Amino acid sequence: MVALMVAASAKPMPPPYRSHNVLPRVLAFYHHWKKIYAASQSLGGLFAIDLTLGLSTLSTGSTFLLWFGPTPRLAVADPEFIREVLLARADRFDRYESHPMVRQLEGEGLVSLRGDKWAHHRRVLTPAFHMDNLRLLLPFVGRTVVDMADKWRSMADASDGEVEIDVSDWFQVVTEDAITRTAFGRSYEDGKVVFKLQAQLMAFASEAFRKVFIPGYRFLPTKKNTSSWKLDKEIRKNLVTLIGRRQEAGDDEKLEGCAKDLLGLMINAASSNSGRRAQPVGPITVNDIVEECKTFFFAGKQTTSNLLTWVIVLLAMHPEWQERARQEVLDGCGAGGVPSREQLAKLKTVSHLIDRITLTLTSNSILRVRRADIQHALQLGMILNETLRLYPPAVATVRRAKADVELGGYLKIPRDTELLIPIMAVHHDARLWGPDAARFNPARFAGGVAGAARHPAAFIPFGLGARMCIGQNLAILEAKLTVAVILQRFDFRLSPSYVHAPTVLMLLHPQYGAPIVFRPLSSQPSDQPVKR
């Protein structure tokens, strides 16, 4: 499997980048085994799934057996089976335990937890991601995006009117700001210190993940392991101190107009459980809070920054769609300032996945946010969805059967069987999406997600069911706001140095970065008040 992945990653996609048939490169092992089973069928027979595993079915093209070293996994790409595994019969399946290096990064939070403890944490944290709560964070996130655009404009002005920028690096700043405010709220400055340390720890772990995994090596007192241990200890120390200060300061919910943050919600839950009788999972502890902060930083930062990167790359590859989306922004909002309430009410380029939000830039450059009516999107919403279809953050997910279970009335899955759900393969399946499945065509989402494919479970960029990504509203909100501001202010194209090479390092990202050439559309300062 490793050899297949290494060989695939050595060959970038050939230009011009009109086809996005990246599956053989990104999921090389899956593509390899699928071809083997397809060849067996063309010879007039079916490869029976190994009956020694107790799997009483045959390969059908979407469901077949493959091997991860000595471990067999059943690949399940049939959307009806996926719906059963992730939704209808989700109680029969557990999330697969991650690679040790991944667990070091993601922490023992929501992503890793199971059973009653997972359900308890999910209930506690969910209010932080309600749209009414997230809109309170938008002024601060908007300011970060505008500041980024101002810097790009200054860089372009200093270099003959345009500038080459690796957006994969810059978008880290935007996403870090959003997740820090969501996690720490009024403790934002202290949170920045903690997440800066977490970013350093992530760099160490990411480097280790690229190397051949040797069991037990991470416990040896090497220089890098020692540095990682020190960072982790310092992160925990800072978080424990911060938690203590917040506990002394009191309940965030008593502060009018203050957004609920993850830290406050968990501290409140821990306090409300103290003194009560023992519950099935026990109270939330300081260690639980530390692990959830680690999880949110890892999942939130990488997922959203990668989404933003792929959106801008795709719009640079497909200027006709870039212009269509920009025209709606410019027609509705003008070339300067941040979209006002009235302008956004007329604008159709707002994601249909979330509530419509409005932004007004006042004379002192403070962003105010209000909620407007829910409406469906056209251009930008379609573009975001098509990006998530072609380049989903997680290209696959794994589930383990907790008990014997039967899918579809005939596929018998023995207990402890691992099921691989190849998300990217489902998203690229021509049988579900039509003959242009490998093409960038946002118009397929013109009627919304439900009618875009031939099965509602064919589009699962954030998962499905109870374990669907808790932060998807935040990710889409950030992406919508950031892309709209960029479209309003810049025309952009791929740099000649860009190499299209999607690859997986835990999540899908551009192997050689994403250099994009930006040219400002006008010389109007981005913080100039909107003219009415």
Q: What is the pLDDT of residues 333-364, one digit of tens each?
A: 666 665 543 343 344 444 433 333 333 333 33
In this predicted structure, which of 47-61, 253-267, 442-456 has the lowest mean pLDDT? 47-61
Provide the residue range defining the domain that includes 82. Answer: 1-98+396-460
Q: Is residue 212 part of a domain?
A: no
Q: Is residue 278 part of a domain?
A: no
Say how far apart CA 492 and CA 263 lie, in whole Å.
39
Say how far apart CA 303 and CA 278 lie, in whole Å.
36
Q: Is the pLDDT reported for residue 199 higher than 50? A: yes
More confident: 12 or 342:
12
More confident: 331 or 361:
331
The helix (H) or strand (E) run that includes residue 369 is strand 367-371
pTM score, whole prediction: 0.84
Q: Is residue 322 part of a domain?
A: no
Q: Is residue 421 part of a domain?
A: yes
Say how far apart CA 323 and CA 249 lie, in whole Å.
50
Q: Read off φ and ψ for residue 354, nearest 5 degrees.
A: -135, 170
Residue ranges at the known binding site for heme? 469
In this predicted structure, which of 240-249, 256-265, 417-426 has the lowest mean pLDDT? 256-265
pLDDT of residue 235: 85
What pLDDT band is residue 214 in, cutting at 50, 70 and 90?
Answer: low
- CATH code of residue 443: 3.30.43.20
What is the rounded average pLDDT of the residues 449-453?
89
Say how far apart CA 424 and CA 220 lie, in whole Å.
36
Q: Is residue 367 part of a domain?
A: no
More confident: 516 or 174:
516
How far apart, in Å, are the Cα atoms of 320 and each of 59, 62, 110, 440? 41, 34, 40, 11
**pLDDT tens, position by position, 15-64:** 878 789 999 999 988 888 888 776 665 555 444 444 334 443 444 468 88
More confident: 84 or 352:
84
Of all residues in the chain, what percent carry a pLDDT higher than 70?
77
Q: Is the pLDDT reported for residue 309 higher than 70? A: yes
pLDDT of residue 40: 60
**Residue 59, both tokens:** 């390969």
In this predicted structure, which of 76-85, 151-160, 193-202, 423-432 has the lowest mean pLDDT? 193-202
R_g over Cα of the chain: 24
Q: Is residue 192 part of a domain?
A: no
Q: What is the mean pLDDT of the chain?
A: 79
Most confident of 372-386, 431-445, 467-481: 431-445
The helix (H) or strand (E) run that includes residue 403 is none
Of all residues in the chain, what percent carry a pLDDT higher than 90?
35
Neighbours of 21 (CB within 10 A): 12
The closest alpha carbon to 102, from 505, 523, 486, 423, belongs to 505
pLDDT of residue 8: 78
Q: Is residue 403 part of a domain?
A: yes
More confident: 44 or 9:
9
What is the rounded average pLDDT of the residues 77-81?
94
What pLDDT band is residue 420 in, cutting at 50, 70 and 90?
Answer: very high
pLDDT of residue 372: 34
CB 438 within 8 A of CB 94: no
CB 186 within 8 A of CB 258: yes
Q: Is residue 45 part of a domain?
A: yes
Residue ranges at the known binding site? 469
Residue 357: strand pairing partners: 371
Say how far apart CA 427 and CA 14 lie, in whole Å.
21
Alpha helices by DSSP H, listed for 91-135, are: 100-106, 115-125, 131-134
Structural domain total, the chain: 1
pLDDT of residue 281: 60
**Residue 123, both tokens:** 């209930």
